[in-house]
Chains A and B, each alone.
Chain A
C-alpha cells in the first residue's frame, strides 16, 4: 500500500479531521478564488479596453491640494513643476508615450445661448472620462448620450444652466470662444476676436458641492486672499465636453492667433501617460514615486478611444478589487496561521502512527509526502467547491452594485490551486520537522 493509498485511507477514516481541514481550506480557497477572479476580470477588461497593450495611466500628484485654485489664481508655477515631473516620467523605461491631456479649465469670455446673449464667464472641462470626473467633483450626471461615441459637437451642462437659459437636452448652444483668454493671476485678457461654435446639449448634470469642497474653497480663499465662491457658480456654469471637441477649439485658438507666450488656450493640468503593458504597472508606480519624491496616486485611467469599452464594469471591478483584496488578504493570512496551528496539533495527534511507520522502516520523506498529499487532496476538493461558489457570489455582488456582466475566467481555478499548494507546503513545514525528528523508541516502547 503506497503513500497515496495511505493518505486516502486517512482522509476517509478520519472524517472529523478531514471536515475541519475542508472547512478551513474552503474558506481560504474561497478567498483566494474571489481575489483571483476579481484580478483576472480586471486584467481581462483592461486588455479588452486597451487591446494594443498601450495602457494609459493617470498620475495624480498628491502635492498641492489647491491645484484647481492655484490654476485659477496662480497656476503657472504649478504647471511648470507638474510639467517637469511629466518630463521626467516620460523618460522612464516603462513608458510608451506621454500625451497632453486637456482636462482642465478654459475660460470663455462669454457664451451665447440660442439668441440670448449673456455676459457670464464659463468653464469648460474637457474630458473623455465623464464618469470618474463627475464622481470626484460632486457632479451627478443625468445624461443619455454617451460622450465617447458622439460624432457631433457635444456638451453637457448643468441643470441650473439649462433652467436659467430655458434650454433642454437636444438643443444647440453657441459658445463664443476667446482663444487667447486664460484664467490667470493676472486676470482675464482683453477680448480680441470671438469665435462662435455650435454645440448640442447631450446631457445635464446636477452639482451639489461636497463638504470637502466647501472646506477646500474656504482654505483656498484664505490662502489666496479672495472671497470664497461657496455657490460654486463657476462650476454651475461649466461645460463638460469630449477631448476631441476640445482639440478643435485648441486648433481654432491657434488659428486665431493665440499667443504662445501667454500659454495655450487650453491648460493641461495632468498628462496622460501610456505604459507599455499591464505588467509594467507596478514597476511604473515605484519609479514614479522615486521621481516625484512625494506620494502619488497611480491608477489605470478609464480613458479609451474605444466606444465599446465597458467602463462601468471596469470601474466596478477596480473598486471591488481594492476592497476584496484587502479583506481577503487578511482572511487568507488568518487561515494560513490557523492551518499551521491545526497541522501542528494534528501531526502531534498522529505521533503514534508516525512512530509506527518509522519503526517499520518507512522513509521519513514519504511520511511527510503522505501528510502533504492528504492536505493537497482536501485543498483541491475545497478549491473545486469554492470556485463555482465564488463565481456565483461575485456575480451576485457585482449585480447588486450595478456592475454589468463580468466575463468568466478560468485562470483563478489554477491560481487558487497553486496558491493552495503553497499554503499546504507552508502549513506542513513544522510537521515535516516533527516527522524528521520523531524517535519511535520513545513513542512505542
Chain B
C-alpha cells in the first residue's frame, strides 16, 4: 500500500426532525508504518468515521481510496477481505471457536496467499501476541477480556493486510492489558509496517500514536 486517502467525505443522518452532519467534507491521508489515533468526544462521529474507513459502511458523499482506487469500486467485501482488518472494542470473536480457530478463520476467508503451514503460523502469531498454545486451544469465551483482544489482534495480523483499524480497542481493558495492547499496535505499525488507525478516547493510546487526529463538529483536524 502506498497511500490511503479520504476525499471530501460527507455524511449526514436524521436526528428526529433535524438532519445532522456528522462528517463534513473530511480529507485525510494515511501512510503505512504509522499508528494513527482519532480522538473525539462521545457522539463526535469517531465510530461513524471508522466504519467508513474500514469498509463496513458507505458515506453519503466523497470517496475513500486505496492507492488511487475507490474502495466502493473495489467492493467493500473485497476491501475487508484482502486489504484491511478491524479490531473491535467488544473483541467480536466467534465465541464457540478456540482462539486458534478464530485466527484460522481468516485464512479461509482471504484471497491473499495463505502460508502452507497455516496452522502453525496461527499458533506463532498467537504466541507473539502473548497467547500460548494451551490458551490458543481454549474456547475464546473462556479467555479474559485482555486475552480476547490479543486474539482479535492476532486475527488481524494473520490477515496480513496493510490497513488495520481498531474501534476503542482498549475500552474494556484494565490498564495493564491496555498497555500491552497499545504496545502490540505500536509494534504492528513500526515493525510490521502496517497502517494502524485507532479510534479512541484513551490518552494512553494518543500518547503512543505517531499522528493524532481530532474529530469535532464534523471536521477532522491533524494535531
Question: Footprint of B on A, CB under 8 Å?
Answer: 1-3, 5-6, 9-10, 13-14, 352-353, 355-364, 439-441, 444-445
| Alpha-carbon gap, A9 to B98, bound state (A) | 10
Residue of A2, A9, A358, A362 touching B96 (CB-CB under 8 A): A9
User: Which residue of chain B lies nearest to A356 when distances are taken between CB atoms in the complex?
Assistant: B92
Question: Footprint of A on B, CB under 8 Å?
Answer: 47, 50-51, 54, 56-57, 77-82, 85-86, 88, 90, 92-97, 101, 104-110, 139, 155, 159, 167
Whether B92 pairs with A444 at a CB distance below 8 angstroms is: yes
Whether A360 pairs with B107 at a CB distance below 8 angstroms is: no
User: Which residue of chain A lies nearest to B107 when distances are taken between CB atoms in the complex?
Assistant: A1
**Centre residue among B104, B109, B167 by max chain A CB count within 10 A:** B109
Q: List 10 A-B contacts (CB under 8 A).
A: A1-B101, A1-B105, A6-B108, A13-B96, A13-B139, A360-B155, A362-B81, A441-B51, A444-B92, A445-B167
Whether B78 pairs with A10 at a CB distance below 8 angstroms is: no
| Alpha-carbon gap, A399 to B68, bound state (A) | 77
| Alpha-carbon gap, A14 to B80, bound state (A) | 28
Whether B108 pairs with A361 at a CB distance below 8 angstroms is: no
Q: Given A359-B56, A359-B86, A441-B57, is A14 in contact with B96 using a C-beta cutoff of 8 Å?
A: yes
Whether A356 pairs with B109 at a CB distance below 8 angstroms is: no
Residue of B50, B77, B101, B167 touching A363 (CB-CB under 8 A): B77
Whether A9 pairs with B101 at a CB distance below 8 angstroms is: yes
Min CB–CB distance B75 → chain A (angstroms)? 9
Whether B80 pairs with A441 at a CB distance below 8 angstroms is: no
Whether B77 pairs with A361 at a CB distance below 8 angstroms is: yes
| Alpha-carbon gap, A257 to B108, bound state (A) | 91
Whether A444 pairs with B80 at a CB distance below 8 angstroms is: no
Known A-B contacts: A360-B81, A364-B77, A445-B50. Give 6 more (CB < 8 A): A1-B108, A353-B94, A360-B80, A360-B105, A361-B81, A444-B90
Min CB–CB distance B64 → chain A (angstroms)? 15
| Alpha-carbon gap, A439 to B56, bound state (A) | 8
Q: Which residues of A contact B77 (CB under 8 A)?
A: 358, 361-364
Whether A361 pairs with B80 at a CB distance below 8 angstroms is: yes
A-B contact count (CB 8 A): 71
| Alpha-carbon gap, A127 to B82, bound state (A) | 79
**Centre residue among A10, A356, A362, A363 by max chain B CB count within 10 A:** A356
Whether B104 pairs with A445 at a CB distance below 8 angstroms is: no
Min CB–CB distance A40 → chain B (angstroms)? 40
Min CB–CB distance A288 → chain B (angstroms)? 57
Min CB–CB distance A277 → chain B (angstroms)? 50
Q: Given A444-B88, A445-B56, is A10 in contact with B80 using a C-beta cutoff of 8 Å?
A: no
Q: Which residues of A contact B93 (CB under 8 A)?
A: 356
Q: Which residues of B contact A14 (CB under 8 A)?
A: 96
Whether B109 pairs with A360 at a CB distance below 8 angstroms is: yes
Min CB–CB distance B84 → chain A (angstroms)? 8
Q: Given A444-B92, A445-B88, is A361 in contact with B78 using a C-beta cutoff of 8 Å?
A: yes
User: Which residue of chain A lies nearest to B110 when distances are taken between CB atoms in the complex?
Assistant: A361
Whether A361 pairs with B82 at a CB distance below 8 angstroms is: yes
Whether A361 pairs with B79 at a CB distance below 8 angstroms is: yes
| Alpha-carbon gap, A408 to B28, bound state (A) | 73
User: Which residue of chain B lies nearest to A354 when distances are taken between CB atoms in the complex?
Assistant: B94
Whether A441 pairs with B56 at a CB distance below 8 angstroms is: yes
Min CB–CB distance B77 → chain A (angstroms)? 5
Q: Which residues of B contact A357 (CB under 8 A)?
A: 94, 105, 109
Q: Given A1-B105, A9-B97, is A360 in contact with B51 using a C-beta cutoff of 8 Å?
A: no
Min CB–CB distance B171 → chain A (angstroms)? 12
**Centre residue among A359, A363, A364 by max chain B CB count within 10 A:** A359
Whether A13 pairs with B57 at a CB distance below 8 angstroms is: no
Q: Which residues of B contact A352 (CB under 8 A)?
A: 92
| Alpha-carbon gap, A14 to B155, bound state (A) | 22
Q: Which residues of A contact B57 (CB under 8 A)?
A: 439, 441
| Alpha-carbon gap, A3 to B56, bound state (A) | 22
User: Which residue of chain B lies nearest to A2 when distances are taken between CB atoms in the complex?
Assistant: B108
User: Which residue of chain A lies nearest to B199 when distances are taken between CB atoms in the complex?
Assistant: A445
Min CB–CB distance A264 → chain B (angstroms)? 80
| Alpha-carbon gap, A9 to B137, bound state (A) | 13
Whether B96 pairs with A10 at a CB distance below 8 angstroms is: yes
| Alpha-carbon gap, A135 to B50, bound state (A) | 81
| Alpha-carbon gap, A352 to B141, bound state (A) | 14
User: Which residue of chain A lies nearest to B159 when distances are taken between CB atoms in the complex?
Assistant: A360
Whether B96 pairs with A6 at a CB distance below 8 angstroms is: no
| Alpha-carbon gap, A353 to B92, bound state (A) | 8
| Alpha-carbon gap, A355 to B91, bound state (A) | 12
Q: Which residues of A contact B85 (CB under 8 A)?
A: 360
Min CB–CB distance B54 → chain A (angstroms)? 8
| Alpha-carbon gap, A360 to B84, bound state (A) | 8
Q: Which residues of B contact A358 (CB under 8 A)?
A: 77
User: Which residue of chain A lies nearest to B76 when distances are taken between CB atoms in the complex?
Assistant: A361
Min CB–CB distance B101 → chain A (angstroms)? 6
User: Which residue of chain B lies nearest to A358 when distances are taken between CB atoms in the complex?
Assistant: B77
Q: Which residues of B contact A445 (CB under 8 A)?
A: 47, 50-51, 56, 88, 167
Q: Which residues of B contact A444 (CB under 8 A)?
A: 56, 88, 90, 92
